[in-house]
Structure 1
Amino acid sequence: MESCLPRSFLTPSVLSTDRKNWRGQDISKFCFPTQVSGSRERDILRVYYVRCNVANIKEKLALSRRRNREWIVHAASRQPLESGPGEFNSGRIRDSVKNAVDAFYRFSRPHTVIGTALSIISVSLLAVEKLSDISPLFFTGVLEAVVAALFMNIYIVGLNQLSDIDIDKVNKPYLPLASGEYTVGTGVMIVTSFSIMSFWLGWIVGSWPLFWALFVSFLLGTAYSINLPMLRWKRSAVVAAMCILAVRAVIVQIAFFLHIQTHVYKRPLVLSRPLIFATAFMSFFSVVIALFKDIPDIDGDKIFGIQSFTVRLGQERVFWICISLLEMAYGVAVLVGSVSSCLWSKVLTVLGHALLGYLLWSRAKSIDLRSKVAITSFYMFIWKLFYAEYLLIPLVR
């Protein structure tokens, strides 16, 4: 009997009205041809309403599912949902690798790494006497020396950071140990690993000049930084400068020259004129680096009692001492180049050193010594002059 009711009539708005409104619709004439009691009529309508309501709910659920499928397809056309977690994980991995490389890059102090590599290559070229000396044997010997020395370089700068964490929080807060990116345990693991690899490589190469260069660098680098009785030589300005001079000016020049001369080429020991010049010139440069590196670090050194020349004499005075020493070195280099018997060597060394001396003086006159950023930038400029000198040294003949 319920099926005779039209669906459009049995809408929720009609069925939800009160009984008075139902009777006003003349339901008996519309759907009940025979006599039906009022209570029976209402029961029939309620049953039908429930069935219609269930049908409406099912239709709405179906429509909702359809719309959800359409939204998923639309989203998939722009960025697949299945690849989302994978892309997210790969992005996190890339970020982690990038951060790890950046932290190690800062930990290794790249300006010292570049300086070490250039100095060894430059000094090795001083042992070259003729074009045929540039051979695979030469490149192998240079590569062995560079890799072993870089491992030791990372040990030395890493140990210095481990010993200066509190100072670096003031002077160099961007370094991994000072910033907290590396734990002390991580730093110890890195410096221990690189020192072992350096000695291992120096031993298997079988070159005594190379091995002794690594060993003496290890001893001086450890004594310079480590905080033990009778050690931590960086607290004394004079001793600290002598350590840097010994490593940068003497060991690098003589030991790595002998590595190529005696171990690679199997020639007798000869201290050539270019080697003597390189050792003398880099002695000046090493002293300047030892003095200048403390100029931007004066705040932390004062707090922790490091009696550097900058703390004792003041930034401006030490700055101009460094400039004067370098200008003297460039003047001597011009004189040495001018007496060379080789025309191309004379021209290149005289013009090259004169140009570097002019660039140094021009930039020194414009620096603002009240700005730590400007002083640090000038310190990096001195390292660039250091690199440039190692490009000129092989030309001295």
Structure 2
Amino acid sequence: MAFGHLVSIPRTSTSIATGGNCWKRRKFVDNYCASSISTTTRASWQPNRNLITKEYSLKHNISKNPFKAIEGGISSTSDDNKIEKPYLVNASSAQSHESEPQAHHHESQNSFNAIKKALINVIKFSRLYAFIGMQAGTISASIIAAENFSQISPMLFLKGLLQFMVPFFFMFQYVMGINNLTDVEIDKINKPYLPLASGEYSYNIALIIVISCLFLSIGLSWMVGSKPLFWTVIVNAALMSAYSVNFPLLRWKRSTILTALSNAISMVGSFNIGPFLHMQTFVLKKAVSFPRSMLIGSLVMGCFYVIITLSKDLSDVEGDKAAGLKTLAIRLGVKQVFWLCVSLIQMAYGIAIAIGASSPVLWSKIVTVLAHLIMIGYVWNHAVTSIDLSSKESLQSFHMFMFKLVTIESVLIQFVR
């Protein structure tokens, strides 16, 4: 303890006190320091020269002000700060080095969160789930056009598929974006989580995205040089603009019939007939011909697209009423439209069963009929046991369920002969 106080003794020179009492007190301090240092410093300082020098320095400094040294230990002076300063600097430096990785960690975490949030907003704005769900139809139609892969190399097929999918991806973003722009007030009630409705995107930013996607889609289609692709993009843009934009004679979503027709024609052309003609005429350089499976597929898929259009409005009744829209769900009620959708699904499966049963190929007849009978039971059980008509979330899940049925049907169409 004594040594801990002694190391901070100042080294400034002062006058040495004289007199008997001072000499006695100085002698006492010298003895006190010697006894303290002898037990502490010898273990700490190995070189004798350093030991003697530091003992002398300590004694010499104490002798300059013995009274101050004795009362309450050795008090600090300005030179104490000089002695302790390097240690303080080192401590603060260590703390700064420790805080630097933490700061970098926080910065990287913030950057990661910002990127994650941006991607989530893109997914919400573009409704990627719908685009991915519909691509099963695009792939199925392209496979039907190829007939068998002995006539086409896998790389050529993949190239032709991407030539159609990439431009149409941007067209799909335009379609979803123009609908978001024209339905901001409705989405604030029905879908407040969407970036435009929630304020994550400003109206100008969303408008720039939508216009950019439109020009990218048309430009890429023109560069590819496929007439089926180009006209599919143009017709789809025209129909969906008429469906969404609030201009005279437009805003077709106010009419149930025009809504169903525009959406069904747009989706059949975009995900079935368009990619089929693109693969058949542009990639494979064949003459136009529609096989049995393509005709049946277009008919059955058209029914599913109408059902998707109707089921979308089931969870949007509140916002559509506030906007003055008269959707079928508002006119007839949610329950009636829900069971109408289920009935239309069963009707589409019935058409597939009837056509499959008339197939001249036995294995195609068995697979088509049996698979669609199973689907009828599966859809009915899901509608009865899994859907709560009073829950907005449950009705939205039914709409999402339709994309699963489209994917399954796109696979089953391959077995139709």
- Please tell me the TM-score bracket, short chain as reference: 0.7 to 0.9
| Number of the residue aligned with 2:51 | none
2:319 to 300, 303, 311: 300
Q: Are 2:90 and 1:69 aligned?
A: yes
Does the residue aligned with 1:131 lie in a helix, a strand or coil?
Answer: coil
Identity of aligned residues (%): 37
Taking a change above 3 Å as real, the CA distance of residues 350 and 68 of structure 1, as seen in their structure-2 partners, is farther
| Number of the residue aligned with 2:142 | 124
Greater Cα offset, 131-140 or 142-151: 131-140
| Number of the residue aligned with 2:120 | 102
Q: Are 2:99 and 1:81 aligned?
A: yes
State the one-letter code of the partner of 1:340.
S
* Contact preservation (8 Å) 2:135, 2:271: no
Greater Cα offset, 277-286 or 123-132: 123-132
Greater Cα offset, 55-64 or 332-341: 55-64
State the one-letter code of the partner of 2:135.
A
| Number of the residue aligned with 1:175 | 194
Q: Unaligned stretches of 5+ in structure 2?
A: 10-19, 28-61
| Number of the residue aligned with 2:380 | 361
RMSD of aligned Cα (Å)? 2.7
Greater Cα offset, 314-323 or 199-208: 199-208
State the one-letter code of the partner of 1:138.
F
Per-residue Cα deviation, 1:257-288 (whole angstroms, up to 9, x for no partner): 11111111111111221111011101211111
Please report the TM-score for the alignment, with normalisation by the length of structure 2. Answer: 0.79
Distance, in Å, in 2 between the alignment partners of 1:147 and 1:356 is: 32
Taking a change above 3 Å as real, the CA distance of residues 67 and 212 of structure 1, as seen in their structure-2 partners, is same
* Contact preservation (8 Å) 1:117, 1:150: no
1:193 to 206, 212, 215: 212
Distance, in Å, in 2 between the alignment partners of 1:201 and 1:393 is: 30
| Number of the residue aligned with 1:241 | 260
| Number of the residue aligned with 1:392 | 412
| Number of the residue aligned with 1:376 | 396
| Number of the residue aligned with 1:151 | 170
State the one-letter code of the partner of 1:128.
A
Taking a change above 3 Å as real, the CA distance of residues 27 and 169 of structure 1, as seen in their structure-2 partners, is same
* Contact preservation (8 Å) 2:243, 2:259: yes
| Number of the residue aligned with 1:309 | 328
Shift of 1:192: 1.1
Distance, in Å, in 2 between the alignment partners of 1:32 and 1:297 is: 96
Distance, in Å, in 1 between the alignment partners of 2:249 and 2:298 is: 29
Does the residue aligned with 2:301 lie in a helix, a strand or coil?
Answer: helix
Taking a change above 3 Å as real, the CA distance of residues 57 and 331 of structure 1, as seen in their structure-2 partners, is same
Per-residue Cα deviation, 1:39-71 (whole angstroms, up to 9, x for no partner): xxxxxx9x9489867745543674575367358
* Contact preservation (8 Å) 1:172, 1:178: yes
Shift of 1:81: 3.5
1:23-42 matches, cutoff 5 A: 27=21, 30-31=24-25
Q: Are 2:280 and 1:280 aligned?
A: no
Distance, in Å, in 1 between the alignment partners of 2:115 and 2:151 is: 41
| Number of the residue aligned with 2:80 | 59
